[in-house]
Amino acid sequence: MDQVEKGKLRVLLDYWIEHNKEHGEEFREWAEKARGLGETAVHDELMEAYREIGKVNSLLLKALDRLKEGE
């Protein structure tokens, strides 16, 4: 992979990580709202999505760290 492509990938990884953090927070906020509306199952599913996006971000961070190691 050439340096230009590595630079693009690094920018994309940073973007995806931040974007996912924002969505994760939205999931958590709406999960609490759903619980307040008595929608316990919806709350639980949204919280699962919140946890899963955290796992995805962990993998993206590992990928970013490996990319940085190779520089």
Q: Whole-prediction pTM value?
A: 0.86
| 8 Å CB contact between 67 and 9 | yes
Total tally of structural domains belonging to the chain? 1
Residue-range definition of the domain harbouring residue 44 = 13-69
* C-alpha–C-alpha distance, residues 15 and 10, integer Å: 9
* 44-70 mean pLDDT: 96
pLDDT > 90 in the chain, percent = 92
Residue 1 pLDDT more than 90?
no
> Which tokens in the block code for residue 39?
């929608």
* C-alpha–C-alpha distance, residues 41 and 55, integer Å: 21
